[in-house]
Structure 1
Amino acid sequence: MHSRRKLMKAGLAAAALATTKVSAQAAGETASRSNGSDELPRKLTILSIRQDDGRETMGVKTAAGVLDVAAATKLLGLSAPLTLEALLVNGGNAELKTLVDTALKAPNAKAAFLDESKIKFGRLFNKPGKIVCLGLNYREHVEETGQKLPPLPILFNKYNNSLAPHMVTVQLPPRDVCYKFDYETELVVVIGRKARNVPVEDALSYVAGYAVGNDFTSRDLQLEVPGGQWMVGKTLDDFAPIGPYFVSADQIDPNNLDLETRVNGEVRQSSNTTKLIFNPQKIIAYASRLLALEPGDIIFTGTPSGVIVGYPKEKQVWLKAGDKIESTIQGLGTLSFTLA
């Protein structure tokens, strides 16, 4: 009996110790995630580099060129997040800043600085938890499509297969699948902290940064298939190019940005985000009442007037293989892609 009590006490002590270790580990992981989501990037302009082995890793624009973060960590023996999504989800802003500052001063890090013109761009995002999109969010766009002004934001989604990099060549589906292809230049909002039931006045404090996106669309699938297929018409492979940069939120006023779309050099869309019906803070506040927005989630905020579907039918000339589309947003650069 005595030895049995000893065994029971030893077992209980071991279990308590294991529980304490697990609890401490869980607390540490939770703190790490919390720090990552609360510490937003600052003074950063980031791009994605497609490496020779197929990896898509982070590059940071500096006065000395684009710092290849993966190469710099090896040369300097320092750790830092290797992708933008890792930075947003897991944190590591301090480590990334240390890496950049050290690389700028270290002679042995020169090989990690690249000429941007020679970089093959990768995807800024490849596995966001959510891609939230807005429909009919510029008054003139609503008018050109003959719709009524929406009383609430119209939300829909794309999937991760649609994500594509700057300078991508989009392979169009066969004509018997769809052929009425249209451009939609949009401001993309990138979430940096978990947002749930966020008030409008605080909404922008949850934003990590911004980018240029194109909500590329097949209008025949979206509008002409019986019942309408918004999701299908907007989430075919590579139908969501984003880039060339992620620019941290501290450098951008999202409520006053010029937007422009050019097709083969011809201006097709020209507007400003002051004309949004629901600005980014209203979108975040509304969406966060319905679902939790998480670090790394992205929001396409809608496109202005000038899309092909808004033209009179006799003037609608749909995009085709060989066309080059350029989407420019003030302070965020120009996203370019071609069709094939």
Structure 2
Amino acid sequence: MQYLARSADGRPLVGDEEGFVPLQAAYPDASSVRDVLPRAPGGLRDLDDVPAGRMPRENLSFGPFVGEPGKLFGIGLNYADHAADLSEDPPEEPASFFKPSSAVTGPGGPIRLPPESQSERVTAEAELAVVIGRTCRNVSVDEADEVIAGFAPIIDMTAEDVLERNPRFLTRAKSYDTFLVLGPHLAVPGPGMDLEDVEVRTVVDDAVESRNVVANMHFSPRELVAFHSNVMTLEPGDVVSTGTPGAHPIDPGDRVRAEVDEVGTVAADVVR
């Protein structure tokens, strides 16, 4: 696995299991992670051939893996178990919505809960995100790997009591500042990575509150990319968060973690 990332102070990085180097050491013509996304579907450069020493991951602090994400999609009820938990029927087509870029925060957060006068019940949801690498339109499921840059762990938040008042309040319930924690890196797999057995876990204060595997999604990451490419042009840096195995209420003082096997982990503290 290879990785694209940004340090907490915004420096773009590229790495592997042994560590990270400045992005420009591998791609002299690139000034940001977004510049390299179109190359990711074909694989990144072998860092053994890069004239720079690797910095160990533990010596780095990370920000969101992309500084200026594009369109931010969320997908609702994409696991059968989660739909059952909410006493809802799974949709026959992807139930997608947008989140604003202002909702994005990075590893560590914090996740800032809205005033209690606006919401008294916020839930956190671990998800696997798929990131677009190449501009595309009308791609098939079989072609999706050619436009996917990679995958990332994210934490999505919902003001559930706002949403329960009226389903038309979905945008507001999903859009508070810091309501989307982007993982510390974009994981760029080798060709044809099989995600079926990848497990996604919502963890609050070290307790696993929900878990499920990608094989149990109604619509796979590749299907979600193909479906939305038939609606609109997808562009490098667009993020499709593929749905959660389950949400859990959070309170100030909690620490939330999204764990995605083979892809990575992101955690954030909760404050008000």
Q: What's the TM-score once normalised by structure 1's chain length?
A: 0.72
**In the TM superposition, what whole-angstrom CA distance separates every residue of 1:282-308 from its partner, at most 9, and x where no partner exists?**
212211111111122110011113x23
Paired residues for 1:1-340 under 5 Å: 44-51=2-9, 56-62=10-16, 65-69=19-23, 72=25, 79-88=28-37, 97=45, 101-103=49-51, 109-110=52-53, 113-224=54-165, 226=166, 228-250=168-190, 252-305=193-246, 307-308=247-248, 318-340=249-271
Q: Say if 1:57 and 1:122, in contact at 8 Å, map to a contact too.
A: no
Report the aligned-residue RMSD.
2.4
Structure 1 outlier segments of 4+, above 3 Å: 91-94, 96-100
Mapped to 1, the partners of 2:139 and 2:16 lie a distance apart of 34
Deviation of 1:99 after TM superposition, in Å, equals 7.6
Mapped to 1, the partners of 2:21 and 2:142 lie a distance apart of 36
Mapped to 1, the partners of 2:144 and 2:47 lie a distance apart of 30
Q: Comparing both chains, which one has the higher relative contact order based on Cα–Cα distances under 8 Å and sequence gaps of 6 or more?
A: 2
Alpha-carbon distance change, 137 to 323 in structure 1, aligned in 2, over 3 angstroms: same
**In the TM superposition, what whole-angstrom CA distance separates every residue of 1:233-271 from its partner, at most 9, and x where no partner exists?**
112111111112211142642333111121101110111
Identity percentage of aligned residues? 26
Structure 1 portions without partners, runs of 5+: 1-42, 104-108, 309-317
Q: Say if 1:67 and 1:100, in contact at 8 Å, map to a contact too.
A: no
The one-letter code sitting in structure 2 at the alignment partner of 1:84 is V
Mapped to 2, the partners of 1:98 and 1:61 lie a distance apart of 9
**Count of residues paired in the alignment:** 269
**SS state at 1:232 partner:** helix
Q: Say if 2:5 and 2:66, in contact at 8 Å, map to a contact too.
A: no
Q: What's the TM-score once normalised by structure 2's chain length?
A: 0.89
Identify the structure with the greater helix proportion.
1
Q: Which segment drifts farther, 163-172 or 289-298? A: 163-172
Structure 2 portions without partners, runs of 5+: none
Deviation of 1:156 after TM superposition, in Å, equals 0.3
Q: Say if 1:182 and 1:217, in contact at 8 Å, map to a contact too.
A: yes
Q: Which segment drifts farther, 227-236 or 274-283? A: 227-236
Alpha-carbon distance change, 63 to 304 in structure 1, aligned in 2, over 3 angstroms: closer
Alpha-carbon distance change, 93 to 140 in structure 1, aligned in 2, over 3 angstroms: closer
Identify the structure with the greater strand proportion.
2
